[in-house]
Structure 1
């Protein structure tokens, strides 16, 4: 038995509005009278709560997400001036307390709805706007930025990080997926290695991290997985939310080469394969959608 197995860390307290009220009252008494309530889409890596009408409190849900707190505090103010859409504005950083063992953050609230398809007025315009945002992010000077690694869940790093996990998932799923085909797609992605200089990436470009108002994309949130490296991970949205003309517009606006597109496809394939067996039926359905989109788009690309 390892030493850390003999002395496991104490369990986290329940991360709820009551804990947030205690933390705020103890460390930021000027905000102690503001109401606290969970946000509608609170996230998984972090738990997020409204603090009054103009702020949010964001708390890591596990130790592995703690490095993201300081990273966002440090880099969001650097990135924001070069970006064409709203991004979170850090206002304060909290310390461990009230039984909660991690640092936490206070940000300015950004009004908007998460980018479900039924909330997007014009998918192609949405895709073009998003591509323009990512292009602007990639143009920001990367020197000194955090290189892809554990803090980014290895987004921006080589897909080989997840090679073993992906192949085990293919074997486990058996005839639920076309094993030979998904292996071919995966190996094509692995072979398309990144050889360019590092650029900034967001790391989690998903519908829940994109905000719309009146059907238009206005903000990108949750930069916890951001860093500098290979931007292919940011292409995953092309298969998880976009399709057809909107996918084509997204790729054309970003001017994505075949190798980077193949790696982006690989990121989605990995995610779909490892989550297909998720006991949550919603997440399992999302995984099936990812895989179906990858397989269909790959087949179309081969025919062209």
Structure 2
């Protein structure tokens, strides 16, 4: 089964791709239809002890502006006023970043972005919150923005949430679980659910033969370490393709989500029209894995 004719969608960050090598990655991504979300990577930078500056990030956004579909504000988790000031500072530098609003912040900051005419807003600090707390918070955010703005969910691929709420876009690094932890995660569009099993679990491979083959993979690839090592690009491509199938099913479930017009629309800043969502961006920090994924997906589409 081939995926819909959608661009490859990647989320990359300044924290990881602030060096000249980013140009090489963009060249690879732009070899075909692509949407590239530029993020500051502020959360990762704090975790890794990296120092990011507003001036450095602004320069990165300007340098790659024409090849980034959009880019986010340099947000400061736990300091909504500082996040707001960074938004204004980047706008004063001639940039059009997507604002970021975090769980736990006062609602009047979201209202401020809405009143300023922002029709596309990113929601952050979503991970790590119990669903019992996160779902009511998201319900409130969607209610406040109804008819005025759409949302991007940073790191949000919790299936219960995505089936419940019509995000315009989300991103996730979960597609890299196989690379990191030896876990195969494939979307089964026959049942509308995700299937997860450990690589080299031969019983699980036998159980899911039809699903594995539907992604063009030889089942032996997931059962044998040597075959996997030699042909892991096929696995990376299949996992990336899974998110395209999930994206298609969510579009059917919620209908197409359109981005309201606004002078502050971060996608249409150069006259490029925005396309209806849902859009699922694959987040990553490894150029080699991105290259395997984009080449594999384009080969299968």
Band of TM-score, shorter chain: under 0.3
Q: TM-score, normalized by length of structure 2?
A: 0.25
TM-score normalised by the chain length of structure 1: 0.25
| Relative contact order, higher structure (CA 8 A, sep 6+) | 2
